[in-house]
Structure 1
Amino acid sequence: MREKLKALAGQRPRWRGYRRVHVLLQREGHYMNHKLVFRVYRAEGLAVR
């Protein structure tokens, strides 16, 4: 799941928010809690200020 999250964040650099990535994951059929998406997103160093 980490690889899929990194791939989605890399595809759209302007949309690098975890909320948007969470929506894209849901559209592909990968249902995860938004809090888990946030934790993985931060752990992978994808957070942008």
Structure 2
Amino acid sequence: MPVIANNVASLPEVISDGLTGMLVNFEDANKVVEIMDSHTIHFWNEKKRSMP
């Protein structure tokens, strides 16, 4: 399942940005909201289908 995750600690090692999810600095709440608002369910479903 593709995710939006905080770009800290070990998460960048687990999540491939743009492939298995999106890494975002959660300190920038506006950026998190922007990402959520700018991508449709179709976008996330395509990410899910492209995952290994």
Same fold (TM over 0.5): no
Higher relative contact order (CA 8 A, sep 6+): 1
> Between Structure 1 and Structure 2, which shows a larger proportion of strand residues?
2
If the length of structure 1 is used for normalisation, what is the TM-score? 0.33
> Between Structure 1 and Structure 2, which shows a larger proportion of helix residues?
1
